[in-house]
Structure 1
Amino acid sequence: MTAPVTHREVERKFRVHGLFVLPDLAEAGIPGTHVTSAPFDMDAIYHDTRELTLFRWGITLRRREGGADAGWHMKLPVAGADGTTRDEMHVSLEAGAVGSVPGALVGVVSPLLHELPLVPIVTLNTTRTPTVVHSIDGTALVEIVDDVVTVRHDGRVVSVFREVEVEALDSSHPHTHGVMEQVSDLLLSSGAEPSSVSKAASALGPQAAEPPDVPAHPFPSPDGLAVDAIRATLSKHVRHLLMADIGVRRDLPDSVHQLRVAARRLRSALTTFAPLLDEEITAELREELRWLASELGAIRDTEVMIERLDMHAAELADETDTERCRAAIDPLLRLRITAARSSALAALRSDRHQQLVDDLMQAAVNPPVTNAAFVPCADVLPALVGRTWRKLAKSVAGLDLDGPSAPWHEARIKAKRSRYTAEAVEGVFGKPMRRLALALAEVTEVLGDHQDAHVAQTLIRDVAAQASTDGMTGLSLGLLHEYEAEVEMRDRLRFLDIWADARARAKAAGIA
């Protein structure tokens, strides 16, 4: 199976009427040279479930013939970007006939599909007239395409419309963004209407613009019902989990971490809201989320450890010690990452994972609440936050600056739970709870670094104990071990400095 080729697409769309005349770029002062090519035809058959699952998530999937980039294309939203930026995945036409979507693309979005089949939905015949704007140095900066689109369904023409797109061809060039702005302003001043809807979504009508299977829900006010706060929290983190899941399948940076965080936050939310939820249903979800986080843990933990030990080895006084430590540790950890990634991807492709995803999506839409959730947030939620805070405070009270690492790790776990709980309700209670969540985020960061220092020392001792480790390498590893031990103690002192602020924030939020 050929791996898809991906590129970042930055474009702006404009709707124009049938008699619209494209303004003259040179007369308008658009710099560079402007080359208009002869019109050509393209035929695109869009695929989706009959429920338009992908369209409703903002994803388009088509098989297009004609033009320089004929093939299967799947366009996906980019996290944190606006609607003008999407990632486009491309495989060849030969990868699948009409109605047979290539597995390399199906596998990426399978968490969203509920195992529903992808079928041809609508056909678009486009006559395209392209104009490319080149910089003075000859670089192709921006392409402006004038498209006349004919929509066909069941062999019949159902509509015809015209659209102009302005797309960046070289986003790294310093003049590209400025040219896009100039061309866009020119089109707007000439009567073009901005559009953020894809051609196919426009052709399919209102259904394609309906919310996805897990819509985003607003948080209620303190006087609103707790069930609505639970729904808003679950939907937020399930949406995060789904997008991170797709990211892992695409091997995007930080996606494993994001998926693991989403799983942990969901598990924490189910634990926090447990007094208001059906125990039988949520117990199973918590257990399955624990399994997912565990499957992902080996990848993320090993990635963190390689980066950490490489960085700290560079702090050793002698470069020879740095090289010895890296030579002993890095190959071992990279082998672990390869094995862990293979195991994690197998887990994500399993029936067990798909069932978990389906169950989470159902829980986000219809939370498994009891009658206790149908009361005002102010009556029940602060007590739930207070419970996790008290457990954390008790754990911190038992810490010994010179004691073993295990109690500090337990405090970290409780700090995470308290942080996630505060974050889960900050949308309800506003600034005081948000400030508490931020203070707890700093606490968990310091205690997390403390735990990493402890794990690093254990790993270094294991590597040093291997029969293949020679004496000089053992000495170098000893220096790195000493460095990590010092970091661990510094983290304990840092924690003592910031804990007072966290306690003050808890009092201000009314939970301590």
Structure 2
Amino acid sequence: MADTKREIERKYELPECAAVVPDLTGTGGASVVLPRGVTELDAVHYDTADLRLARASLTLRRRTGGDDAGWHLKFPVATGIRDEIRAPLGDTVPAELAALLRSRTRDAELLPVVRLRTSRDVRRLCDARNTPLAEVSVDAVRAQRLDEGSATAVWTEVEVELADGADPALLDAVEKKLRRAGLRPASAASKLDRALTETGARATPREERPPSTAGDHVLAYLRAQVAAVVAQDPAVRRDLPDSVHRMRVASRRLRSAFRTYRAFLDRTVTDPVAAELKWLAAELGVDRDHEVLSARLRTRIDALPDTLLLGPVSARLQTWNAERWAGSRERTLAVLDSERYLALLDALDALLADPPLRRRAASPARQALPGRILKIHGRLADRVDHALALPPGPERDIALHSARKAAKRARYAAEAARPALGRPAERFADRMKAVQSVLGDHQDSVMAREALRELAVQAHAAGESAFTWGLLHGEEAARAERLERRLPEVWARASARKLRTALTR
């Protein structure tokens, strides 16, 4: 079974003029520096033949030596911060780690590409109670390519890794001391990156030229959303917070861009892909929608005084949740492992590799993009006007939900055009988000009332009091009414002529 460790570290180049690391006693609260001796590490790094993992700053290695021998998979979190997922030592890539890489590797084989042999001289920084604060390692590295010839490289670097729970400010204090001694931050983010660079195979991401035409900006937006889908795949598999939501939003933004900017894209290519994105979002939504609804009901129940909680309310909600969540996690993982999903990722890659641009895509962005945004805004206006003209009730609820989806598309359209249109597009997107928020809260209330009615029926059938469920139903109805009264004011700001005119200036 794999486990995860958060690494917070900094790397430094050790030039010949700074042959030794300075004494760090007294630095940043480190009262004691304890030598830990020299350890010999032998790591073989794996990647696809075209270095897809390295291009995404991912590291997969099989390492022997030291106290953490085994398979290590590292995901970047932020500069100097990575999550290292570990699995026991074996001869082949562990299935659980391979699954986390599937959105990038697809059917490509993982092969040994670089071998790193490191002599690591470790010093541990501790406080006055001998509590570890950080480890400073002087690493003498020998790199050898395994995939193309046998090119080699050697270098020495210093690595400072923060201990679990230690104050990150210690890293700043240590860096200040190291810089005074002539050390400088490493130019490479990892040993693998440096090894690839110095052996002639730097895995740099493809550089895109700055967008200028309408088609350029649309493609840049599509690339960002495809990258988000791919990046969230392992996060969903790891069950990280909000990962399902982020992946679902990225798939929806892709669909929305296909629809909004269809004047620039060949629909014979994008429509089939959009259909598959709709399928993916729907599959991801099963778990996400219930998660949101359950959290909403739990919050409402927790806000009630005990005197209004009649019957086994919490137990009833827990049972209701269990019935709907049973197997949902397994279903989500099955979707990500399905041939259909992997085919969708391949289709997205193919679309970006050979963009299906129409002639109008060559138009200047500042001239062509506003018209598409305003067209979506016009559809939103029709839906809002229609909903507000209806009397309160189920028909209006449906109309408001339809308006919510249109508001989301208008927001996404403006976000895609923001690099080209600047602040006017940003303000426009913010106003659309405000409308979407009101309508989204309203739809959540509609769904909550449906669930509360179901819970009340179940409670009544079991001989329990349905009072609390009815009370919460009434509160949700009142909340929805307040949102409907608020909508005209929010919509007035989002439909202001000044806001729309600013897009075309």
Q: Same fold (TM over 0.5)?
A: yes
Contact 2:46–2:113, Cα closer than 8 Å, also in 1: yes
Change (3 A) 1:478 1:219: farther
Report matched runs for 1:16-165 at 5 Å.
Answer: 16-17=14-15, 20-26=19-25, 31-78=30-77, 81=78, 83-93=79-89, 96-97=90-91, 100-154=92-146, 158-165=152-159
- Offset at residue 468 of structure 1 (A): 6.7
| Counterpart residue number, 1:178 | 169
| Counterpart residue number, 1:263 | 251
Cα-to-partner distance string for 1:132-154 (whole Å, 9 max, x where unaligned): 11112332111101100111235
Pair 1:494 & 2:486 matched: yes
Instruction: Mark the runs of 5 or more structure 1 residues left unpaired by the alignment.
Output: none
| Counterpart residue number, 2:7 | 9
Aligned mates of 2:32, 2:70 — CA distance in 1: 30
- Offset at residue 394 of structure 1 (A): 0.9
Report matched runs for 1:430-509 at 5 Å.
Answer: 430-466=422-458, 469-504=461-496, 506-509=499-502
Aligned mates of 1:467, 1:177 — CA distance in 2: 51
SS in structure 2 of the partner of residue 253 of structure 1? coil
Instruction: Give the AA of the match of 1:428.
Output: A
Contact 2:28–2:170, Cα closer than 8 Å, also in 1: no
SS in structure 1 of the partner of residue 357 of structure 2? coil
SS in structure 1 of the partner of residue 433 of structure 2? helix
What's the RMSD between the two structures over aligned residues? 2.1
Contact 2:459–2:465, Cα closer than 8 Å, also in 1: no
- Offset at residue 199 of structure 1 (A): 0.7
Instruction: Give the AA of the match of 2:44.
Output: I
SS in structure 1 of the partner of residue 130 of structure 2? coil
Aligned mates of 1:75, 1:243 — CA distance in 2: 13
Instruction: Mark the runs of 5 or more structure 2 residues left unpaired by the alignment.
Output: none
% same residue: 36
Aligned mates of 1:265, 1:160 — CA distance in 2: 46
Contact 1:385–1:511, Cα closer than 8 Å, also in 2: no
- Offset at residue 511 of structure 1 (A): 6.5
Change (3 A) 1:394 1:23: same
- Offset at residue 471 of structure 1 (A): 4.7
Aligned mates of 1:28, 1:496 — CA distance in 2: 60
Aligned mates of 1:209, 1:126 — CA distance in 2: 22
Instruction: Give the AA of the match of 1:191.
Output: G
- Offset at residue 313 of structure 1 (A): 1.5
Contact 1:135–1:141, Cα closer than 8 Å, also in 2: yes
Instruction: Give the AA of the match of 2:499.
Output: A
Aligned mates of 1:342, 1:369 — CA distance in 2: 38
Report matched runs for 1:199-348 at 5 Å.
Answer: 199-205=191-197, 207-211=201-205, 217=208, 220=211, 224-319=212-307, 321=309, 324-348=312-336
- Offset at residue 444 of structure 1 (A): 0.8
- Offset at residue 320 of structure 1 (A): 5.3
Aligned mates of 2:175, 2:319 — CA distance in 1: 51
Cα-to-partner distance string for 1:407-458 (whole Å, 9 max, x where unaligned): 1111101111111111111111000110010111111111111101001111
| Counterpart residue number, 2:178 | 187
Aligned mates of 2:503, 2:174 — CA distance in 1: 54
Contact 1:13–1:194, Cα closer than 8 Å, also in 2: yes
Cα-to-partner distance string for 1:202-257 (whole Å, 9 max, x where unaligned): 11115333106xx6x5763xxx2112111111011111111111210111110000
Aligned mates of 2:27, 2:433 — CA distance in 1: 52
Pair 1:383 & 2:371 matched: yes
Structure 1 range deviating more: 482-491 or 56-65: 482-491
SS in structure 1 of the partner of residue 309 of structure 2? helix
- Offset at residue 487 of structure 1 (A): 1.4
Contact 1:30–1:182, Cα closer than 8 Å, also in 2: no
Contact 1:73–1:91, Cα closer than 8 Å, also in 2: yes
Cα-to-partner distance string for 1:75-105 (whole Å, 9 max, x where unaligned): 1111xx2x20111100010xx31xx211111
Cα-to-partner distance string for 1:256-292 (whole Å, 9 max, x where unaligned): 0001000000000011111211111101011000000
Cα-to-partner distance string for 1:120-171 (whole Å, 9 max, x where unaligned): 111111000111111123321111011001112359671211010011112x
- Offset at residue 355 of structure 1 (A): 0.9
Aligned mates of 2:350, 2:487 — CA distance in 1: 40
Cα-to-partner distance string for 1:304-324 (whole Å, 9 max, x where unaligned): 011100111223344552773
Contact 1:219–1:428, Cα closer than 8 Å, also in 2: no
Aligned mates of 2:470, 2:29 — CA distance in 1: 64
Cα-to-partner distance string for 1:173-220 (whole Å, 9 max, x where unaligned): 3xx3232111111111211121242112211115333106xx6x5763
Structure 1 range deviating more: 313-322 or 61-70: 313-322
SS in structure 1 of the partner of residue 122 of structure 2? strand
Contact 1:316–1:322, Cα closer than 8 Å, also in 2: no
- Offset at residue 472 of structure 1 (A): 4.2
Aligned mates of 1:394, 1:151 — CA distance in 2: 64
Per the normalisation by structure 2, the TM-score is 0.93
Cα-to-partner distance string for 1:345-372 (whole Å, 9 max, x where unaligned): 1111001101101111232343211122
Instruction: Give the AA of the match of 1:380.
Output: A
Aligned mates of 2:123, 2:297 — CA distance in 1: 51
Instruction: Give the AA of the match of 2:141.
Output: V
Aligned mates of 1:471, 1:491 — CA distance in 2: 35
Contact 1:9–1:168, Cα closer than 8 Å, also in 2: yes
Contact 2:232–2:247, Cα closer than 8 Å, also in 1: yes
SS in structure 1 of the partner of residue 326 of structure 2? helix
Aligned residues: 494
Aligned mates of 1:336, 1:246 — CA distance in 2: 24
Counterpart selection for 2:348 from 353, 360, 367: 360
Aligned mates of 1:258, 1:5 — CA distance in 2: 23
Cα-to-partner distance string for 1:317-345 (whole Å, 9 max, x where unaligned): 44552773332223222332232222121
Counterpart selection for 2:416 from 415, 424, 428: 424
Contact 1:77–1:87, Cα closer than 8 Å, also in 2: yes
Structure 1 range deviating more: 285-294 or 486-495: 486-495
Contact 1:63–1:71, Cα closer than 8 Å, also in 2: yes
Aligned mates of 1:415, 1:179 — CA distance in 2: 47
- Offset at residue 497 of structure 1 (A): 2.6
